[in-house]
Amino acid sequence: MPQIVMDVVENSTPPRNLAGSGYRNLFAENGRYVFDGNRVVARFRVGRNGVGRWRLETLDPGLSFVITPDLRIRKYRRTERTCVVRIVRQFETVLDTLKPLDTAIALCGEHGHRWSLAHSESACGEMPYRWEWCLTCGAEQVWVAETGEWLQWPDDADEIAVRTAGALPRLHGPVFAEGGRLL
C-alpha cells in the first residue's frame, strides 16, 4: 500500500495582500514598535473614504507611515497646506524592518546595542555634543563634551533636551532622510 509523506514547510514569505484576511489584526492598537531604527506607535485609522489603514506615528507629528494591505509602506509628510506622499522602496514589505519594541529591547539586553556611526553637532552655539542611535531598539545616546558624560534616551530624556536645546531625540536612517539629510 503506498504511503503519503507530508512535510510541513514554514513559509517565511508574507502574503502579498491581506485586505480580506487579517490586515486589521496585523499590529496591536497603540502598540510600540521599532521601524528602521526609530520608535513608532501603530494606530488603525479609518479615512474619510471609509477605508481603514494602519498608520505608524513617529515622534514628529508631521511625519507618519501608512501600511497598505499588500504590506507596502507610504511616507506621509504634512506641510502647511498639503501632505506629501512618497512610496518607501527601501524594503519589500514593512515586515522586513519592523519589530515590537519589547522584542528589540530584549535583543539589546541580551546582545548589547548596535550603535550607528556617531554624529557631532552643536546646540544653537552651545557646547558640542556627539550622538548615535541603536539600529535595533531605537535608543539614542549623547556624549556631552563639557562634562564628558554619556546620556541615554529615553532614560535621560529631560537632561538630553536641556543639553541639546531640544534637538534630540530625532528621527534617523535612510527612510527618514529628506534630500540627503536626516530629519
- pLDDT tens digit string along 131-146? 888 989 988 888 887 7
Residue 50: pLDDT above 70?
yes
- Confirm if 40 and 73 have CB atoms less than 8 A apart: no
**3-state secondary structure at position 125:** coil
The pTM of this model reads 0.74
pLDDT of residue 178: 56
Residue 1's CB is within 10 A of a number of other CB atoms, namely: 2
- AA identity, residue 70: D
For the stretch 64-120, pLDDT in tens is 999 988 888 999 988 888 888 888 888 888 888 889 999 999 999 999 999 888 776
**Mean predicted confidence (pLDDT) in 150-178:** 77
Q: How far apart are the first and last CA of the chain?
A: 67
Q: Are 42 and 33 in contact (CB under 8 A)?
A: yes
Residue 110: predicted pLDDT? 94
* pLDDT greater than 50 at residue 181: no
